[in-house]
Homo-oligomer: A and B are copies of this chain.
């Protein structure tokens, strides 16, 4: 997408704020695991569980943004006339989604 379409297709302000707050919470979680790794005895599996929990929280932020993108930008692509660009870009993003 070029810059122009980028800026007219900006993320819904409410979702943006929700995503930002969730990311701050994810940051806190990551920080907690980093501190856990300063302890002398840490069990590998406990670290793996915490990483999975963080991945789950990140996925929820992604879902929030993805749903907003679908609702606000993808369902209107035909009307705007940028179907091919919007769909290719979305397929690319979904490919790397965990």
Interface residues of A (CB under 8 A from B): 1, 6-7, 9-11, 16-17, 19-20, 23-24, 26-27, 30-31, 33-34, 37-38, 40-49, 51-52, 54-56, 58-59, 61-63, 65-79, 83-84, 86-87, 89-91, 93-98
Contacts and interface: CB of A to CB of B under 8 A. Distances in A.
Instruction: Give the number of times this chain occurs in the complex, counting copies.
Output: 4
14 contacts: A1-B45, A6-B46, A10-B41, A10-B43, A11-B44, A27-B30, A30-B30, A44-B72, A51-B65, A56-B96, A66-B94, A70-B90, A75-B77, A94-B97
A49 to B, nearest CB: 6
Contacts of A71: 83-84, 87
